[in-house]
Amino acid sequence: MTTAVPAGGFTAADLITLLERACGTAGLNPDGAVLLRGHTHAVYRLAADPVVVKIARRGTSRESVHRTVHLVRWLIEQGFPTVGLHPVRQPVEVGGHYATFWAHLPQPDHPVAAEQLAAPLRSLHQFTEPPVQLPAVDTVTAIRRSLAVTVALTDEERAFLGLRLDRLEADLAEVTYLLPPAVVQGDPQHRNALHTRDGGAVLCDWDTAAFGQPELDLVTVEIHCRRFGYGHDHYAQFAARYGLDITTWDGYAPLAALRELRMITTNAKRAAHGTDTLLEIRHRIAGLHAGDHRQRWHIL
């Protein structure tokens, strides 16, 4: 079993124990499991079975994990293109922590293109009355909570980000949205989608799903294309396929700036002194100071 670094707020030893116990409950073999991602949740690919195990971050509520499972089951019933749940009773609880089990889709060495996100997102945004009670989008409150618990930044850095949030909150109050509220993925991007065997793509990672303005999903895709090196043409292909270029909307600037601020503060609250994560956060803050909307970011 390979555990390179602690993930999800757990120590490496705790993760091994959680994975073994969760797999034992689900009747799966954890031997040789490989940690795929560990920044927020700990995501493992099992070696003995075509299954991915996600151990929810320490402190994740039972309600939240159950909501994700119920949402995905409903989406599958609607024929929506999402990665499937492994057929076991879930989530599995281990000592107050939660694991979910997903079908493993073998992936090529390149991420899903933004253009491939367009059709699934357009379909998702048609669900204006989901049967699952999703949390309402509240980006401003989420940013304030992150700033309140961030310890690695200086007082000056936190004050700068807080003042920026106050200005954006005021700007957002004047925005008139284009689309009706609907189910949103919350963090649609290249790494939260998977290639399928037939050349298509499905969405995954539904922990950020909420009910709110679809424009939030659209600016998130645009930010990832602009900030992480994919380029304008890559984004333009997405916009053409979705049927809306969000950058032409007069509410784009404040919403995109607010989404970028959340991408900074969410990572800042988990950053520790002396880490590459903190260096990247300060790189992004320096870009905000300079007004550099094209500054290249590095994925965290």
Give DSSP secondary structure letters for 276-296: HHHHHHHHHHHHHHHT-TTPP
Q: Residue 7 pLDDT > 80, yes or no?
A: no
Burial (CB count within 10 angstroms: exposed 0-12, middle 13-18, buried 19+), residue 60: buried
| pTM for the model | 0.93
CA 300 to CA 293: how far, in whole Å?
A: 18
What phi and psi, each to the nearest 5 degrees, are found at residue 107?
Answer: -115, 145
Burial class (CB within 10 angstroms; exposed 0-12, middle 13-18, buried 19+) of 87: exposed
pLDDT at 203 over 80: yes
pLDDT of residue 98: 97
Q: How high is the pLDDT of residue 270?
A: 87
| Mean pLDDT score of the chain | 95
- pLDDT value of residue 2: 40
Q: Decide if pLDDT at 227 tops 90.
A: yes
How much is the pLDDT for 81? 97
Start-to-end CA distance of the chain, whole Å, equals: 24
The predicted-structure confidence for 263-283, as pLDDT tens digits, reads as follows 999 999 988 899 999 999 999
Confidence of residue 221 (pLDDT cuts 50, 70, 90): very high
Give the model confidence (pLDDT) of 145-195 as tens digits: 999 999 999 999 999 999 999 999 999 999 999 999 999 999 999 999 999
Q: Is the per-residue pLDDT at 5 higher than 80?
A: no
The answer to whether residues 204 and 102 touch, using CB atoms and an 8 Å cutoff, is yes
pLDDT of res. 175? 97
Residue 6: predicted pLDDT = 59
Local confidence band at 1 (pLDDT 50, 70, 90 cut-offs)? very low
C-beta of residue 51 within 8 angstroms of C-beta of residue 86 = yes
pLDDT band, residue 252 (cuts 50/70/90): very high
Instruction: Report percent pLDDT > 70 for the chain.
Output: 98
pLDDT at position 139 is 97
Q: Which residues contact 77 (CB under 8 A, 6 or more apart)?
A: none
Owner of token pair 């000592």? 95
7 CB-contact burial (10 Å; exposed 0-12 / middle 13-18 / buried 19+): buried
Residue 240 has pLDDT above 50, yes or no: yes
Residue 4 scores a pLDDT above 80: no
Domains of the chain (ranges, CATH numbers)? 12-103 (3.30.200.20), 114-290 (3.90.1200.10)
